[in-house]
Amino acid sequence: MRETKHPGEFLHQYLIERKRATVESVAATMNLETLSLQAFIDGRLRVDADFARKLHSATGVSEAFWLNMQSKYDKSRESR
């Protein structure tokens, strides 16, 4: 199985690169510290149910999508 992108990388590409949002503005929308969101983007934090809700509120993308993406990422890492 090939390695999939960490959900943080997807968020970075979607919001930061395509929508021209800043990490600071997205973190504020999610009610997070900027450093926490940056750690997620860098792949150092996982998506859990609470984080998935915050991602949904910031992006409009379903909580299930974020949780599924995390699960797929985890499985791709296990098979290495």
Whole-number pLDDT of residue 51:
97
Which of the 8 DSSP states describes residue 71? H
pLDDT tens, position by position, 40-75: 999 999 999 999 999 999 989 999 999 999 999 999
Within 13 Å and on the Cβ side, how many CA atoms surround 54?
19
Whole-number average pLDDT of the chain = 92
pTM, to two decimals:
0.88
Residue 21 in this model has a pLDDT that exceeds 70? yes
Residues 6+ apart with CB under 8 A from 34: 23, 24, 27
Residue 1 in this model has a pLDDT that exceeds 60? no
Helix ranges (H only) for the chain are: 7-11, 23-30, 34-41, 49-59, 63-78
Whole-number pLDDT of residue 4:
87
